[in-house]
Amino acid sequence: MNEIGDAALVALLRRQMTHAVARQVVAAGNLANIDTPNFRAREVDFDVTLNHAVAGTLVTTHPDHLTAAADAPAGPLTRETAGAPVRRDGNSVQIDRELLAMTDAAGDFARAQTVLAAKFRLVRYALSESR
């Protein structure tokens, strides 16, 4: 049976919450530049960010097997939003898309926070019952 430990669960929830925050920050930055000429909307590049996060936790047996992730950026990697229509002023920010992205990220954060709170309630209950 494949079980997930407490430390692994908390680490996964932390990553989920961090990713949700990063998505909200990028969407807020896009909204802040909605009237900036030639500004291109950005989005978090989940695949690349995940690969950099995982590369830092992998153990190599030979230096040629994997490239080092020491040069990986600290924050999430972003890319220009693909397929976003560009207005006449060169700006590609769409308010509806950004508000939806922020709402989606807030929902992801809230779900992870609820699971984390339930986990801590179980720990608190176990501690109080052991007396």
- What are the pLDDT tens digits along the chain (131 aa)? 567 788 888 899 999 999 999 999 999 999 999 999 999 999 998 766 666 655 555 555 656 655 544 555 566 789 999 889 999 999 999 999 999 999 999 999 999 999 999 999 988 888 888 76
Asked if the structure places residue 16 within a domain, the reply is yes
What is the total count of domains within the chain? Answer: 1
Measured CA to CA, the distance from residue 40 to residue 80 in angstroms comes to 6
Residue 15 forms part of a structural domain: yes
For residue 1, is it within any domain?
Answer: no
Domain range enclosing 19: 6-129
What is the pTM assigned to this prediction? Answer: 0.73
108, part of any domain: yes
State the CB neighbour count (10 A cutoff) for residue 17.
17
**Dihedral class, residue 35 (left if φ above 0, else alpha if ψ from -120 to 50, else beta):** alpha
* Interatomic CA distance for residues 52 and 54, integer angstroms: 6
